[in-house]
Amino acid sequence: MPEAEGRAAEERAEERAGFAPGVPFALLPFALVSSGETLVGKGCLGLVAEGGEPLGARVRAHLAASAAAQGAAPASPVSGISASGISAPGISAPGISAPSAAGPDMVVGALPYERGAPAHLFQPAELSRSAGRACFAAAFPPPALVRPEPLSPACMRIAAEPPLAAYRAAVAEALARMQASEGAPVGEALRKIVLSRSLRLSSDRPIDASALLRALARDAGVTAFCVPLPPAGPPLAPQMPARALVGATPELLVARQGRAVTSHPLAGSARRWREASADRAAAQALLASDKDRREHGEVVTAILDQLAPHCVALGTPEGTGLTATASMWHLGTRICGRLRRPDLSAIDLAMLLHPTPAVCGTPRAAAARAIAELEGYDRGFYSGAVGWCDGAGDGAWHVALRCAEVAGREARLYAGAGIVPGSDPVSEGEETSAKFAAMLQALGIDEDGRPLTEDGA
């Protein structure tokens, strides 16, 4: 075991070396894109170090060391509106900010699904931030004189991992485990297990991650994201493809602005329909579904319980309602609070809450063990979190859903569903297919790799 851990550490060090400042490797920009705010980070001034200290402490140490090396106090956060949508002193009127010559007082990146796995956080060399999508269009311009269209490579092959039949069998096994654990001690009886599946895609030409992000960002109900990742190979290897996590998430894990904290968990989902009456019926059926409300309640209760000791005020002002993306309906509950301590940063809060029952299950430890045994693959950054944290502790972290890891001609797509007593294996498989739809449509194919027709069928 120590030998295996040593090899893994060496591999991570090689990957990080390929991402470090000064390496001639073409990084895609980091981006969070939504109708409310867009943040784009270019380049890399430095990676947040791995180590035994909590991640929040390492982020603070990195930013403090960066400021000291530049011979200046930490800069103010870049101007613009906050990702939480909460105005606060020190945040200027919305507009595109100029990159700081001394380097932004901020780290960006991704947290993995597994709590013990290394995070990928770095300080960008330049940062732009705007209300709406203004700085996104500048950083990811479409091809000149060509209207952006869904990607349509001549040939794309898809392999389901696991196959749909195997996924349904895993759901059935999860249900059996929950039933068998009903008499277990408190903290061990399984109430929810989130199971995912993946699609591995191979194209006959490089997959354009920027075009994919542009397509995903058209959905006003999501936060589209792009996180450049270390290349999967030795540093400076010839023709090493750029690697990125690209997706479109509807779910806010946590945002902090001053002492204001916000979370907007989603759980319980239904496919949307083109015909208006069928779409309304699907939404109302979701609202009335006891199974979906129980699934959603597990997430909201867990987040409230974890935040409560750290807040002087905490609540769900609007209660549970519907949240829509272009392809899915979700049950959502906005949680708002005020922190007791000003030193609890956005990254501290993200590490406190992650993984929520929306991506893992209840209770967390027992559900995580079941997932490891039933899924059969490493999730990596899927169902982790993507976001940012600045030197003041403010920031926003979004659950990494509806995403793909893209590298050259390869991509791996992910989707999952929450399993609770009363779940049906066939229906849960159909839910994952519906959640793949946004990414597949952006790629211009269906789940079997066939090109989409003009009507999307």
Catalytic sites, residue numbers: 192, 251
Backbone angles phi, psi at 213, to 5 degrees: -65, -40
Inter-residue contact 415 to 400 (CB < 8 Å): no
Cβ atoms of 119 and 107 within 8 Å: the answer is no
Rounded-to-integer distance, Cα 46 and Cα 63, Å? 10
Q: How far is 443 from 202, CA to CA, in rounded Å? A: 12
CB-CB neighbours of 205 under 10 Å: 12
- ω into 363 cis (within 30 of 0): yes
183-191's contacts with Cβ under 8 Å and 24+ in sequence apart are 187/363, 187/365, 187/366, 188/363, 188/366, 189/363, 189/366, 190/361, 190/362, 190/363, 190/366, 190/367, 190/370, 191/298, 191/361, 191/362, 191/363, 191/420, 191/421
385-390 and 395-399 as β-strands: parallel, antiparallel, unpaired? antiparallel
Report phi then psi at 81, rounded to 5. Answer: -85, 155
CB 196 within 8 A of CB 427: no
